[in-house]
Structure 1
């Protein structure tokens, strides 16, 4: 045992492991655990019937359905088109490629309020695109979904792009040599390798969409039971000095988000193990 500990200390790449680990745990506790614990502690001031009533009113349930449903569908769409955008940026060379590559990061740098105003100006009924549509986009759940698609795309592209850059083209050429069609090559060769990155991109886009506020409130219309998202409902509770009610809704969001992200991480780990087993 002593020899093993001495060997581990001798071959540690970075010195000061104990100190670095302690600082990491302290930092994560201050930044993550303490604020989350405060939300739980404030919620515990409610009795169980009060908690159930606070998180299960028709208005709150409608905001859950819209927030989680729109976030899931937006992340799902971004997985498909994010992979296509990443593939084009990695596999092809064309004029203006660097400009397109920079545009992918625009939702990262753009203030959320600016994004919301821009999307509303485009998709409103008198907007540059909305005036030609036979249906409404702004001030509807569809508008919420459009905003979440806009802010979530870079997470998928930037997660998949490095994996595609490391993916050897010889694998695709070998599959073609063995008689595989393009679709078979994508389905049997490319997608299994990209699956962990796609799941990571989906998780990041989904998590980002759940907490999005600034770009959504402008285009959503914020109508209760129709286009009101849960983060806005939490802000409304805080403005009404209903702190316990706000933290109760936040706790439900936190637990549900953690459960879904944990499931996605488990699927990602399974995909990596399966990929390693096939390799």
Structure 2
């Protein structure tokens, strides 16, 4: 073997050894970080929820006020998720397929709920749709106000999930279907929608999970009245104020389970629709 080939091989050998050494190190750092930030806090929360055993956990989540708050949270989260699945897809379609003045500004505004403090979003809605709002519509301290606030903070999840898929869609397939006599609705239903559905489901799952635990945008626009407009996050906060940490932890664990179950279910549905789209 020539000296040149030996010299050329040395960096590759060194890189291979560094890669083998770096993989366990990187995995260890990732696991440690995830443990400190996610796993250990969740384990502590779960332990707090079951501090009084299964009976105490069940009693905490099935109490009248707790269950009313959880039920209301589920109802508005489902409504918000369905609305944003439709409207988020439509907005993503307009941003990708249409051209209009100010398109860049509108596209940037989609991410505004991510950048703004959530309480600012609530204050904005209160100023516009509150008792002194200029539009003459007052949804403050109502369930409609909760839905409106959650629509605002969860919209970007669906839009940003659908946009990349629309950008990557092959326009030649749509043109070929149209040349064979397929109408716009048929093209959308048979070609576009099957490709968009996994992204819509993924974005909707994230929106649903966010809606379940939203707090900041609801502070100013809800009355936090039990059995009327008190959502689960506010119930948890009220339990903390009443020094009922076990009750707060139990409802938190229940919400966590609901959110995780929804994400797993939608992830499985997303994979199934992806296979059938191919």
- Tell me the TM-score normalised to structure 2 length: 0.90
User: What is the aligned partner in structure 1 of residue 198 from structure 2?
Assistant: 196
2:209, 2:262 within 8 Å by CA — same for their partners in 1? Answer: no
Say yes or no: does 1:30 pair with 2:36: yes
Query: What are the Cα deviations for residues 115-148 of structure 1, in whole angstroms up to 9, with x where unaligned?
Result: 111111211233122x2x4xx5221111101100
2:248 to 232, 246, 249: 246
- Tell me the TM-score normalised to structure 1 length: 0.89
What SS does the corresponding residue of 1:163 show, helix, strand or coil?
helix
Distance apart, 1:200 and its partner CA: 0.8
2:123, 2:220 within 8 Å by CA — same for their partners in 1? Answer: yes
Distance apart, 1:14 and its partner CA: 9.2
User: What is the aligned partner in structure 2 of residue 68 from structure 1?
Assistant: 74
User: What is the aligned partner in structure 1 of residue 236 from structure 2?
Assistant: 234
Q: How far apart, CA to CA, are the structure 1 residues paired with 2:189 and 2:21?
A: 44
- Spell out structure 1 runs of 4+ moving beyond 6 A: 12-15
Query: What are the Cα deviations for residues 33-54 of structure 1, in whole angstroms up to 9, with x where unaligned?
Result: 1011001111222133322221
Q: Which has the larger radius of gyration?
A: 2
Say yes or no: does 1:98 pair with 2:104: yes
1:163 to 155, 162, 165: 165
1:119 to 109, 118, 125: 125
Q: For the aligned residues, what is the CA RMSD?
A: 2.0
Q: How far apart, CA to CA, are the structure 2 residues paired with 1:48 and 1:201?
A: 34
2:223, 2:229 within 8 Å by CA — same for their partners in 1? Answer: yes
Q: How far apart, CA to CA, are the structure 2 residues paired with 1:110 and 1:67?
A: 23
User: What is the aligned partner in structure 1 of residue 9 from structure 2?
Assistant: none
Q: How far apart, CA to CA, are the structure 2 residues paired with 1:193 and 1:52?
A: 42
Q: How far apart, CA to CA, are the structure 2 residues paired with 1:250 and 1:147?
A: 21
How many equivalent pairs are there?
Answer: 264
1:78 to 84, 88, 93: 84
